[in-house]
């Protein structure tokens, strides 16, 4: 089968975003499918070297190539700039790829255009990595967004409670299939024991998009800001937020971009950690969406335990060993103590959870079964 996947690797040139798309591409290829990557958002890229949105796509193009080329995909991608110019492969190559494709996968809004070549692909699916924000947008924003989604045969979401009685989120008349981020386990081997016992994460304090829809991590994080006062110097946050504020409350911080420049930097930071401590966006929590982080999956695959805020995902995944949930600061402190009490067992169970729930050769066949029905 031939698959065209649209992603946002160039628009948001960060290691975590790159891994998200890459593991779909590699996972599909490992299953024997032919893949082609396209990016067609109609937006300018973010250039972290200049810390600005840029009309010059050079940084994003280099980032896409650095993501795909080492995996034999150098000639299997095309980036459509905001001005309609094609980079990487030209428009004829994209048309050829689409003409023979069996499935079009739009990951996280990797394309906001229905070009004729995309519409001619027999099966088309959308994968929503931002649950709650997506569903609320569909019922509150302009009708053209609903019209856009009307051209998909199936829609999937990382929000495991969307469309169920567990969450009040609207469905906009769509049937949202639950899915997880696929993890290519060969790319995330179990790491050696860490030298320091610090919980880490990579996080964005606030995002500018969806500002009219809901709240960000800052609203939830302040609920736990006194956690270092209870458990000590146990944290290292790679964050693009208020470093001075966080440090004044005992959190060690590093620049998020410094550990997110590319695939290797991002993976090295996670594998060098003791465990993850993860807080979710306010809207994920408030809507009980059941969102679960693709970043957390990478910690687990690396044999790193994860202590992450419950958004409702606990109804669908184990959370007693290796992967722990919290809703209060007391539960967070207790989770740290539990991981410390038998770290080796938690580390082994973390990898086992990745193998049992998130491995690409498990997640993707289930997605394809629905997508091709």
Domain CATH for 243: 3.40.50.2000
Secondary structure (3-state) at 260: coil
The pLDDT assigned to 212 comes to 62
Same domain assignment for residues 174 and 197: no
pLDDT bracket for residue 141 (50, 70, 90)? confident
Same domain assignment for residues 87 and 175: yes
Are β-strands 77-80 and 86-88 bridged in parallel, bridged antiparallel, or unpaired? Answer: antiparallel
Q: Does the structure show a pLDDT above 70 at 208?
A: no
Residue 100 phi, psi (nearest 5): -105, 5
pLDDT bracket for residue 284 (50, 70, 90)? very high
The pLDDT assigned to 316 comes to 98
Task: Report the run of H or E that residue 345 belongs to, with start and end.
Answer: helix 343-353
* CATH number, residue 366: 3.40.50
The pLDDT assigned to 215 comes to 80
Is the dihedral angle over the CA atoms 136, 357, 310, 210 positive or is it negative?
A: negative
Task: Report how far residue 18's alpha carbon sits from residue 262's, in angstroms, rounded to the nearest whole number.
Answer: 8
Q: Does the structure show a pLDDT above 70 at 287?
A: yes
Matching residue, tokens 């695939």: 263
Same domain assignment for residues 307 and 171: no
Matching residue, tokens 């790193």: 304
Matching residue, tokens 């270092």: 228
Same domain assignment for residues 97 and 221: no
Same domain assignment for residues 288 and 344: yes
Q: DSSP label at 192?
A: P
Percent with pLDDT over 90 in the chain:
93
Query: What average pLDDT does this structure show over 75-80?
Result: 98
Cα Rg for the chain, rounded, in angstroms? 20
pLDDT bracket for residue 214 (50, 70, 90)? low
Lowest-pLDDT range, 10-24, 37-51, 90-104, 194-208? 194-208
pLDDT bracket for residue 21 (50, 70, 90)? very high
Residue 344 phi, psi (nearest 5): -60, -40
The pLDDT assigned to 213 comes to 65
Read off the pLDDT of residues 25-44 as tens digits, 9 standing for 90 and up: 999 999 999 999 999 999 99
The pLDDT assigned to 352 comes to 98
Same domain assignment for residues 193 and 335: yes
The pLDDT assigned to 119 comes to 98
Query: What average pLDDT does this structure show over 103-116?
Result: 97
Same domain assignment for residues 220 and 271: yes
- Enter the pTM of the model: 0.97
Same domain assignment for residues 27 and 162: yes
Query: What average pLDDT does this structure show over 288-292?
Result: 98
Higher pLDDT, 216 or 127: 127
The range of the structural domain enclosing residue 349 comes to: 186-357
250 phi-psi bin (left φ>0, alpha ψ -120 to 50, beta other): left
Same domain assignment for residues 143 and 220: no
Same domain assignment for residues 139 and 201: no
Same domain assignment for residues 105 and 37: yes
pLDDT bracket for residue 348 (50, 70, 90)? very high
Number of domains in the chain: 2
Mean pLDDT over the full length of the chain = 96
Same domain assignment for residues 101 and 138: yes
């Amino acid at each position: 089968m031939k698959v065209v996947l649209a992603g946002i690797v160039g628009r948001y040139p960060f290691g975590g975003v790159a891994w998200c798309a890459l593991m779909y591409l590699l996972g599909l290829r490992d299953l024997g499918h032919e893949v082609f990557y396209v990016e067609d958002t109609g937006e300018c890229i973010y250039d972290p070297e200049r810390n600005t949105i840029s009309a010059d796509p050079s940084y994003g193009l280099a980032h896409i190539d650095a993501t795909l080329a080492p995996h034999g995909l150098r000639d299997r991608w095309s980036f459509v700039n905001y001005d309609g110019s094609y980079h990487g492969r030209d428009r004829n190559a994209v048309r050829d790829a689409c003409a023979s494709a069996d499935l079009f996968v739009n990951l996280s809004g990797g394309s906001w255009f229905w070009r004729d070549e995309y519409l001619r692909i027999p099966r088309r699916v959308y994968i929503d990595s931002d649950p709650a924000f997506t569903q609320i947008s569909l019922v509150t924003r302009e009708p053209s967004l609903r019209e856009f989604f009307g051209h998909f045969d199936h829609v999937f979401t990382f929000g495991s409670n969307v469309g169920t009685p567990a969450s009040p989120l609207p469905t906009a008349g769509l049937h949202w299939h639950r899915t997880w981020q696929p993890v290519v386990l060969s790319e995330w081997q179990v790491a050696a024991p860490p030298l320091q016992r610090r919980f880490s994460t990579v996080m964005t304090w606030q995002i500018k998009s969806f500002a009219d829809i809901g709240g960000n991590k800052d609203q939830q994080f302040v609920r736990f800001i006194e956690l270092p006062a209870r458990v000590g110097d146990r944290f290292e946050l790679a964050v693009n937020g208020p470093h001075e504020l966080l440090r004044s409350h005992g959190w060690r911080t590093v620049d998020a971009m410094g550990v997110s420049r590319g695939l290797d930097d991002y993976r090295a930071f996670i594998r060098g950690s003791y465990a993850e401590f993860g807080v979710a966006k306010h809207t994920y929590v408030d809507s009980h969406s059941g969102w679960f982080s693709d970043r957390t999956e990478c910690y687990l695959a690396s044999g790193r335990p994860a202590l992450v805020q419950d958004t409702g995902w606990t109804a669908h995944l184990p959370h007693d060993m290796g992967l722990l949930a919290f809703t209060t600061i007391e539960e967070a402190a207790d989770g740290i103590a539990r991981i410390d009490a038998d770290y080796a067992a938690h580390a082994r169970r973390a990898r086992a959870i990745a193998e049992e729930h998130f491995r690409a050769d498990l997640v993707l066949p289930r997605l394809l079964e629905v997508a091709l029905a």
